[in-house]
């Protein structure tokens, strides 16, 4: 029996249930067909694994969760497990090469950019402090120095907030990247 035949038959057997309930049941069974096809089974094998549409519909109509779950578990047990399917598991090799040639140099560059930003911010703050001390000594240039001082202050505040954001996202990205490395290492592609 094909998927379409099975679902049509099941839908007809569930005729006394509400439309939404039938729709949910059909969607659930379609999902089992999709999983079976991914696992390499034919539609006929999947339909056979689920049992007759009449019995499955009767279990749904009775609300007998045990029968329903038994039929669906039986179907899942017949599917090969994900662990037994062959996969390209050169995860460790890929992680090492990827990190060596691309990721580590990129993280070093990002780290140097962050350190440079911190040094620039410290320099701006130093200039700000120096100008603040120089204002009383220079009589004629006071209005210009005050404007310059305030401008540098706002630039330092902006640069500080920007650095805080960059550092935050740098560490978040590093954490995600480490988790991705672990996942590829353990499971491959």
Q: Name the domain boundary from 84, 99, 132.
A: 84
Count of domains in the chain?
A: 2
pLDDT number for residue 126: 83
40 neighbors 34 (Cβ within 8 angstroms): no
Considering the domain architecture, whether residues 130 and 182 belong to the same structural domain is answered as: yes
Q: Are residues 60 and 19 in the same domain?
A: yes
| Burial zone of 133 (CB within 10 Å; 0-12 exposed, 13-18 middle, 19+ buried) | exposed
Question: Looking at the structure, do residues 78 and 95 belong to the same domain, yes or no?
Answer: no
Q: Among 25, 58, 84, where does a domain finish?
A: 84
Query: Based on the domain organization, do 166 and 133 belong to the same domain?
Result: yes
Tokens of 94: 């890929």
pLDDT computed for residue 80 by the predictor:
47
Instruction: Residue 60: give the domain boundaries.
Output: 3-84
Residues 66 and 97 in one domain: no
For residues 100 and 92, what is the distance between their CA atoms, to the nearest angstrom? 12
Q: What pLDDT does 140 receive? A: 62
Per-residue model confidence (pLDDT) at position 135: 63
Residue 70 sits in the same domain as residue 95: no
57: tokens are: 């519909």
Question: Per residue of the chain (189 residues), what is the pLDDT tens digit?
Answer: 888 888 888 888 887 788 888 888 888 888 888 888 888 888 888 888 888 888 888 888 777 666 666 666 555 444 444 444 444 556 677 777 777 887 888 888 888 888 888 888 788 778 777 777 766 655 566 677 677 777 877 887 888 888 888 888 888 888 888 888 888 777 766
Query: In this structure, are 117 and 171 located in the same domain?
Result: yes
pTM over 0.85: no
* Residue 77 and residue 154 share a domain: no
> Given 84, 119, 149, which residue is the final one in a domain?
84
Residue 72: the pLDDT is 66
Q: Give the model's pLDDT for residue 66.
A: 65
- Token readout for 188 is 């491959």
Same domain, 136 and 104: yes
Label each residue of the chain as H, E or C: CCHHHHHHHHHHHCCCCCHHHHHHHHHHHHHHHHHHHHCCCCHHHHHHHHCCHHHHHHHHHHCCHHHHHHHHHHHHHHCCCHHHCCCCCCHHHHHHHHHHHHHHHHHHHHHHHHHHHHHHHHHHHHHHHHHHHHHHHHHHHHHHHHHHHHHHHHHHHHHHHHHHHHHHHHHHHHHHHHHHHHHHHHHCC
Residues 107 and 149 in one domain: yes
- The predicted pLDDT at position 86 comes to 45
């Amino acid at each position: 029996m094909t998927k379409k035949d099975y679902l049509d038959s099941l839908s007809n057997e569930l005729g006394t249930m509400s439309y939404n309930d039938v729709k949910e049941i059909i969607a659930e069974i379609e999902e089992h067909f999709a999983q079976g096809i991914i696992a390499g089974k034919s539609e006929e094998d999947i339909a056979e694994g689920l049992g007759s549409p009449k019995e499955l519909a009767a279990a749904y109509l009775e609300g007998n969760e045990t029968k329903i779950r038994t039929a669906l578990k039986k179907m899942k047990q017949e599917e090969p497990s994900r662990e037994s399917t062959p996969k390209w598991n050169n995860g460790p090799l890929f992680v090492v090469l990827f990190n060596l040639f691309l990721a580590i140099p990129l993280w070093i560059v990002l780290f140097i950019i962050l350190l440079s930003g911190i040094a620039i911010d410290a320099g701006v703050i130093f200039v700000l402090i120096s100008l603040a001390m120089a204002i009383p000594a220079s009589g004629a240039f006071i209005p210009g120095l005050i404007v310059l001082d305030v401008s540098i202050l706002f630039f330092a505040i902006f640069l500080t907030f920007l650095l805080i954001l960059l550092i935050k996202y740098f560490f978040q990205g590093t954490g995600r990247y480490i988790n991705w490395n672990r996942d590829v290492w353990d499971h491959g592609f």
